[in-house]
Amino acid sequence: MARLNLILVWLFFSTLCLYSCPSSAQLSRHHYAKTCPNVENIVREAVKKKFHQTFVTVPATLRLFFHDCFVQGCDASVLVASTGNNKAEKDHPDNLSLAGDGFDTVIKAKAAVDAVPLCRNKVSCADILAMATRDVIALAGGPFYEVELGRFDGLRSKASDVNGRLPQPEFTLNQLNSLFAANGLTQTEMVALSGAHTVGFSHCNKFSKRVYNFKSKSGVDPALNEKYASQLKSMCPRNVDPRIAIDMDPTTPRAFDNVYYRNLQQGKGLFSSDQVLFTDSRSKATVNAFASSSKIFRANFAAAMTKLGRVGVKNAQNGNIRTDCSVI
């Protein structure tokens, strides 16, 4: 217990610098104070409307932000549509499962911002996505945090850039750490950001190997809770319709909470890349800490999201502010 308390204290204080230390030079919480002072409220109201239409708005927008930031930085390049001579990021196989509701959330928020004459074409799509992501997290019961603003939109979006840049369902801890480290994120931050799987869903083909074709006598991944494995089989029978999707969090799928980590303690991580956070001794203590304290998880998640939002930020020299988020 003493060791766990020390871990909890360390995790908590490790987040403080992210709130008090300088951010990327160009990013500021008050970037639009003069050009569009009410931008956060405008975006929040648009996101609320979309949220009340469908809960999918939450995981769809959150996942969109992750997929954007991990490829060429947080520059809204994932929002760009392909053209006759360019296959954009969103059409890479790893992005085809991004739900349309995430894109629609940004489109609606952008339209709401541009409907205000003072704000028209002043706010980047990258910043709108960052604000919308924070807002869906809060609407689902997660932490509300201040968003640093001032990103410009990227001038490039190529499907080939996605190769090897996004975490896969079967990743080991080493692979996860390597990918997140490439974006300046620590193992603790990776475990915190993985908590986003407390909401959302997955198509059966992303984990079916764990319940049907695992290299074990039963064909089932022994790290899976037996009862949970049976439930997965019933929800995802062999040759299931590929459009069928199930909740990532079988316990509280519509609440942004720390139950994800408690699920891992019980062998209920849907992906092997989820469950490995608990089965690997190097990250197990962090999972236990987040499972035992909602406060510690929320603080670490908010801090990690702030740090993620600084990845690959574009400026006026290598970016612009798009009038249409889908067109460079």
152-208 confidence digits (pLDDT tens):
999 999 999 999 999 999 999 999 999 999 999 999 999 999 999 999 999 999 999
User: Which residues neighbour 316 within 8 Å (Cβ) at sequence distance 6 or greater?
Assistant: 152
Predicted pLDDT of residue 19: 42
Q: Taking residues 266-271, what's their average pLDDT? A: 98
Q: What percent of the chain has pLDDT over 70?
A: 92
pLDDT for residue 6 is more than 60: no
Q: Are residues 70 and 143 in the same domain?
A: yes
Task: Determine if residue 73 is labeled as part of a ligand binding site.
Answer: yes
Q: Are residues 125 and 229 in the same domain?
A: no
pLDDT for residue 229 is more than 60: yes
Task: Determine if residue 75 is labeled as part of a ligand binding site.
Answer: yes
67-121 confidence digits (pLDDT tens):
999 999 999 999 999 999 999 999 999 999 999 999 999 999 999 999 999 999 9
16-73 confidence digits (pLDDT tens):
444 434 346 689 999 999 999 999 999 999 999 999 999 999 999 999 999 999 999 9
Q: Are residues 190 and 296 in the same domain?
A: yes
3-state secondary structure 26-95: CCECCCCCCCCCCHHHHHHHHHHHHHHHCCCHHHHHHHHHHHHHCCCCCCCHHHCCCECCECCHHHCHHH
Task: Determine if residue 249 is labeled as part of a ligand binding site.
Answer: yes
116-143 confidence digits (pLDDT tens):
999 999 999 999 999 999 999 999 999 9
> Which residue among the candidates 30, 52, 67, 92 is catalytic per the annotation?
67
Question: Would you say residue 10 lies in a domain?
Answer: no
Cα–chain-centroid distance for residue 259?
17
Q: Are residues 64 and 134 in the same domain?
A: yes
Predicted TM-score of the model (pTM): 0.93
Q: Are residues 191 and 150 in the same domain?
A: no
User: Which residues neighbour 304 within 8 Å (Cβ) at sequence distance 6 or greater?
Assistant: 18, 185, 189, 192, 193
The boundaries of the domain holding residue 143 are: 38-166+310-320
pLDDT for residue 11 is more than 60: no
Cα–chain-centroid distance for residue 99?
13
Question: Would you say residue 292 lies in a domain?
Answer: yes
Q: How far is CA 214 from CA 42, 117, 172, 223, in A?
A: 48, 58, 15, 11
**Could you tell me which residue, 152 or 8, shows the higher pLDDT?**
152
Question: Would you say residue 19 lies in a domain?
Answer: no
* Sign of the torsion formed by the C-alpha atoms of 209, 212, 213 and 219: positive
Question: Would you say residue 20 lies in a domain?
Answer: no
Nearest to 153 by CA among 133, 119, 125, 123: 125
Domain containing 131 — which CATH number?
Answer: 1.10.520.10
pLDDT for residue 2 is more than 70: no
Task: Determine if residue 40 is labeled as part of a ligand binding site.
Answer: no
67 flagged as catalytic: yes
Average pLDDT, the chain: 93
Task: Determine if residue 93 is labeled as part of a ligand binding site.
Answer: no
Q: Are residues 182 and 279 in the same domain?
A: yes
Predicted pLDDT of residue 188: 98
Q: Are residues 136 and 201 in the same domain?
A: no
Backbone angles phi, psi at 293, to 5 degrees: -140, 110
Task: Determine if residue 189 is labeled as part of a ligand binding site.
Answer: no
Question: Would you say residue 180 lies in a domain?
Answer: yes
